[in-house]
């Protein structure tokens, strides 16, 4: 039987490279442009941003340069923060178990996982028999990091050189957590609910990562369980494999399933820190795989939507009602184009996008800190924890950074085929149509889902695929190009 996915991929692009079928997605090989995880050094701001916007994981080999933290052992964490508590993972019980950093067993004794993972393949035996890790969520405060401890950790925190700008420095500082693994430890494959890029910096020892993009799905029942080990029961096929050494950092993205294993030939106990950055976002990856992401846990559990909607809609997060009415979509397209494409030549330049985004004001909430509307759309606890900028200088600095990134991210999201630095009228229409169809499908099925009507959900999802296939087959040739990493 021909799979829906392969048909959709085959019909993905029109001869000029612009994908018009709103549910079509590029294949992973095409989009990411090959397997190897690239390793870079002395990464420049523009190279960093470009790689993040694509959304393919990469390693920064010299991430730890001039960071005192690199080389800090488990024992040193134990001596320095004896009053903190961390979470013991994979205890097998339903209650969370906390262990004091002040105790010694965690770094001196093995503690096998209590998960009942039945390895189907030889490949999984390593992780199934591995030691369970400990994670210290400094960011959560509470008994994991009482105020004094949290302040001490944040004070000692030094940013890696590629974390730039007030927004990213704040996010990274605020979001740091530490992972402690004894030799032969593992974290089972999972996808986090982050909506923004994450960085894992290896502080001591080395760790092997296996990663896989979220499987491409057009039916929500086929979306894998994103929790630890869930995907082993379904379709775990690692796409990338990479060993990250002491002082190196892996940059990875929302909805990438990942598993880590600390090999036997290693220090007795290894440490890594994970933190996030806000700017830029993997815009090209979000655009390419939006139909799948809307079926994923990020939509059901996550809070990414407010952040993501406006790349396509160019309106405040809740301002646009999804529809499949082609006339309505085209009308919206025309009015957006009229507002943004000031010289009316049919394509949107960086300057035009800047003028459009910078000018937006939000009359409904006057007197807020940020002067333009759209930074406020995201000015929530999700986005900034409980931290708020103290001075108007910091506000202005952050607003400028967010505006710059928002323009670039929006351009990268829309400018797909070909990538020429301009957003054509057709590119805008394709992104809008994708957004509408994907979210209309979600709106319709959401009601059925909350009513527990699984079969109806599936029927509706099938209708979407069939209708679009019929539509596509009249227009498209099965040519595949454009929309790739190249
Ligand atoms: C990290 O945050 C803490 C607490 O807000 C602050 O004292 C420290 O200066 C910050 N460090 C950097 C490098 O931004
Ligand atoms: C439209 O105008 C922009 C400047 O606003 C320019 O960069 C672009 O090349 C023009 N596009 C076409 C198709 O003429």
Domains within the chain, CATH numbers bracketed? 4-26+285-484 (no CATH), 35-280 (2.60.120.650)
β-pair partners for 412: none
Q: Which of 455, 409, 100 is nearest to 280 (CA)?
A: 409
Asked if residue 170 has pLDDT above 60, the reply is yes
Question: What torsion do the CA atoms of 415, 419, 422, 425 make, to the nearest 10 degrees?
Answer: -50
Report which protein residue has its CA nearest ligand 2's atom 4. Answer: 349
Of the ligands numbered here, which is closest to the C-alpha atom of 161? Answer: 1
Asked if residue 256 has pLDDT above 80, the reply is yes
Specify the pLDDT at position 243.
98
Q: Report the C-alpha gap between 253 and 213 in whole angstroms.
A: 9
Establish whether residue 349 lines the binding site of ligand 2, counting it when its CB lies within 6 angstroms of any ligand atom. yes
Give the distance (Å) from ligand 1 centre to CA of residue 155: 5
Enter the DSSP assignment of 215. Answer: P
Establish whether residue 157 lines the binding site of ligand 1, counting it when its CB lies within 6 angstroms of any ligand atom. yes
- Pick the more confident residue, 375 or 429: 429
Average pLDDT over residues 372-376: 63
Establish whether residue 422 lines the binding site of ligand 2, counting it when its CB lies within 6 angstroms of any ligand atom. yes
Asked if residue 368 has pLDDT above 70, the reply is no
Q: Give the pTM.
A: 0.91
Helices 425-450 and 305-313 cross at an angle (nearest 10°) of: 140
Specify the pLDDT at position 120.
67
Give the distance (Å) from ligand 2 centre to CA of residue 219: 40
Give the distance (Å) from ligand 2 centre to CA of residue 437: 29
Of the ligands numbered here, which is closest to the C-alpha atom of 387? Answer: 1
Specify the pLDDT at position 18.
52
pLDDT digits (tens, 9 = 90+) for 171-206: 999 889 999 999 999 999 999 988 899 999 999 999
% of the chain surpassing 70 pLDDT: 84
Average pLDDT over residues 271-281: 95
For residue 365, what pLDDT band results from cuts at 50, 70 and 90?
low
Pocket test for ligand 1, best of 141, 152, 157 (most atoms within 8 A of CB): 157
Establish whether residue 159 lines the binding site of ligand 1, counting it when its CB lies within 6 angstroms of any ligand atom. yes
Report which protein residue has its CA nearest ligand 2's atom 14. Answer: 345
Give the distance (Å) from ligand 1 centre to CA of residue 140: 16
Establish whether residue 173 lines the binding site of ligand 1, counting it when its CB lies within 6 angstroms of any ligand atom. yes
Report which protein residue has its CA nearest ligand 2's atom 6. Answer: 349
Give the distance (Å) from ligand 2 centre to CA of residue 22: 26
pLDDT digits (tens, 9 = 90+) for 97-122: 999 999 999 999 999 888 666 666 77
Average pLDDT over residues 54-77: 96
Q: Please tell me the number of Cα atoms within 13 Å of 160 on its side-chain side.
A: 33
Establish whether residue 169 lines the binding site of ligand 1, counting it when its CB lies within 6 angstroms of any ligand atom. yes
Ordered alpha helix ranges (H), 55-200: 74-80, 105-108, 125-128, 147-156, 166-175
Q: Report the C-alpha gap between 232 and 224 in whole angstroms.
A: 9
Report which protein residue has its CA nearest ligand 2's atom 11. Answer: 347
Asked if residue 4 has pLDDT above 50, the reply is no
Average pLDDT over residues 142-169: 90
Q: Which of 187, 282, 283 is nearest to 228 (CA)?
A: 187
Pocket test for ligand 2, best of 344, 345, 351 (most atoms within 8 A of CB): 345
- Pick the more confident residue, 423 or 142: 423
Pocket test for ligand 1, best of 68, 152, 154 (most atoms within 8 A of CB): 154
Asked if residue 396 has pLDDT above 90, the reply is no
Average pLDDT over residues 304-315: 87
For residue 127, what pLDDT band results from cuts at 50, 70 and 90?
confident
Specify the pLDDT at position 484.
33
Average pLDDT over residues 435-455: 91
Specify the pLDDT at position 358.
85
Asked if residue 1 has pLDDT above 60, the reply is no
Report which protein residue has its CA nearest ligand 1's atom 4. Answer: 154
For residue 386, what pLDDT band results from cuts at 50, 70 and 90?
low
Helix (H, G, I), strand (E, B) or coil at 298: helix
């Amino acid at each position: 039987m021909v799979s829906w996915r392969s048909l959709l991929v085959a019909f993905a692009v029109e001869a000029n490279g612009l994908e018009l079928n709103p549910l079509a997605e590029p294949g992973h090989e095409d989009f990411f442009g090959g397997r190897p995880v690239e390793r870079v050094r002395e990464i420049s701001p523009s190279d960093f941003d470009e790689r993040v916007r694509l959304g393919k994981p990469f390693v920064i080999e010299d991430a730890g340069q001039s960071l005192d933290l690199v080389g800090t052992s488990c024992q040193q964490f134990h001596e320095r923060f004896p009053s903190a508590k961390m979470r013991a993972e994979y205890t097998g019980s339903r209650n969370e178990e906390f262990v004091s950093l002040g105790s010694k067993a965690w770094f001196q004794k093995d503690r096998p996982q209590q998960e009942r993972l039945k390895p189907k393949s030889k490949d999984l035996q390593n992780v199934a028999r591995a030691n369970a890790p400990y994670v210290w969520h400094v960011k959560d405060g509470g008994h994991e990091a009482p105020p004094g401890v949290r302040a001490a950790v944040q004070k000692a925190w030094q940013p890696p050189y590629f974390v730039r700008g007030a927004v990213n420095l704040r996010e990274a500082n605020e979001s740091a957590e530490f992972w402690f693994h004894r030799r032969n430890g593992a974290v089972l494959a999972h996808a986090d609910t982050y909506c923004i890029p994450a960085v894992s910096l290896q502080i001591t020892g080395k760790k092997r990562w296996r990663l896989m993009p979220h499987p491409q799905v057009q039916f929500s029942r086929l979306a894998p369980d994103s929790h630890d080990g869930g995907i082993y029961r379904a379709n775990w096929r690692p796409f990338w494999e990479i060993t990250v050494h002491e002082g190196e950092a892996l940059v990875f993205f929302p909805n990438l399933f990942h598993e880590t294993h600390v090999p036997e030939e290693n220090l007795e106990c290894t440490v890594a820190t994970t933190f996030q950055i806000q700017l830029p976002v993997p815009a090209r990856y979000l655009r390419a795989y939006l139909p799948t992401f809307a079926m994923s846990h990020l939509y059901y559990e996550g809070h990414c939507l407010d952040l993501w909607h406006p790349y396509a809609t160019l309106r405040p997060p809740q301002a646009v009602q999804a529809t499949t009415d082609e006339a309505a979509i085209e009308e919206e397209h025309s009015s957006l184009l009229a507002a943004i494409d000031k010289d009316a030549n049919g394509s949107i330049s960086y300057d035009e996008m800047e003028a459009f985004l910078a000018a937006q004001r939000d009359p409904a909430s006057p007197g807020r800190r940020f002067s333009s509307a759209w930074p406020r759309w995201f000015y929530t606890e999700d986005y900034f924890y409980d931290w708020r900028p103290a001075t108007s200088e910091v506000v202005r600095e952050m607003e400028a950074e967010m505006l710059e990134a928002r323009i670039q991210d929006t351009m990268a999201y829309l400018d797909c085929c070909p990538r020429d630095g301009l957003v054509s009228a057709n590119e805008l229409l394709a992104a809008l149509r994708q957004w509408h169809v994907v979210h209309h499908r979600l709106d319709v099925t959401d009601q059925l889902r909350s009513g527990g009507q699984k079969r109806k959900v599936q029927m509706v999802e099938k209708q979407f695929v069939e209708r679009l296939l019929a539509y596509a087959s009249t227009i498209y040739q099965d040519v595949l190009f454009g929309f790739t990493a190249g």
